[in-house]
Structure 1
Amino acid sequence: MACRISELVLDAVDPDRLAAFWSDVLGYVELEREADGSVAIGPPDAGYGGPQPVLVFGPTVDPRPTKLRLHFDVNATDRDQDAELERLLALGARPADVGQTGEESWYVLADPEGNEFCLLRTRLDPV
């Protein structure tokens, strides 16, 4: 028996803003809101325990000290990479420079709080 990732928990200065951004990016919905200000989002048809992990944004007042040691890679499901890039930028993502050469097949972006993520080229089934 093995484990699988069921939830990813991220600190956020503004959990509502990040939850809204990532819900739009991933097609997730709000699943739960805690008294401490945490917001959980996940797939609309599965919620907790489904095949895709739930994201939980917990409030923090501590600024991010350095580059994250973990980042998300995302793939478009219903359009090509360039069209998805335009959509993500319209949602509030912005280009990020982490030392890429310009020859990569992916785009490095940052979410509204500066957390880096990559938009990969391959289109995936929406599953």
Structure 2
Amino acid sequence: MACRISELVLECRDPELLAQFWCNVLDFVVLDRELQPDGTVGEVEIGAADGFGGRQPTIILSRNDDPATAKPRLHIDVNATDRDQDAELERLLALGARPADVGQTGDEQWHVLADPEGNAFCLLKARLPAV
């Protein structure tokens, strides 16, 4: 028996903003919100419509107002499911992603992007079937 990734947690300044962005990117929905005692959103959990424990891990966007101190060691890679890489790149840029420079040469088969809070992610070349 092995483990399975059930959730990814991303600390961020604005969970609602990133939830909207990543829901649009991944065709996810908001599954849950947790409010802090002052009424502000502390966490937003997003995922596929089948929810936690489904075929894909959920993403928890957890408020953290502390300044980021270092580049994260983990990033998300995404693949288009219904269009080619160039068309998906245009869609992601229209949603608010922006090109990011992490030292790539320009010869890579992927695009490095940043979400609205600057978290790097990659758009890979291969098209994958939708799950």
Q: TM-score, normalised by structure 2?
A: 0.94
Match of 1:9 in 2: 9
Q: CA offsets, 1:26-48, max 9 Å, x none?
A: 0000000012320000001x100
Match of 1:87 in 2: 91
Q: Which amino acid aligns with 2:10?
A: L
Aligned length: 126
Matches within 5 A, 1:16-55: 16-36=16-36, 37-44=42-49, 46-55=50-59
Q: Which amino acid aligns with 1:50?
A: G
Q: Which amino acid aligns with 1:69?
A: R
Query: In structure 2, what is the Cα distance between the partners aligned to 1:14 and 1:63?
Result: 12
- Name structure 2 gaps, 5 residues minimum: 37-41
Q: Which is further off, 63-72 or 78-87?
A: 63-72
Query: In structure 2, what is the Cα distance between the partners aligned to 1:64 and 1:86?
Result: 28
Stretches (4+) displaced over 6 A: none
- Name structure 1 gaps, 5 residues minimum: none
Displacement, 1:65?
1.3
Query: In structure 2, what is the Cα distance between the partners aligned to 1:110 and 1:51?
Result: 25
RMSD: 0.6
Match of 1:108 in 2: 112
Give 1:64's match in structure 2, choosing from 57, 64, 68. Answer: 68
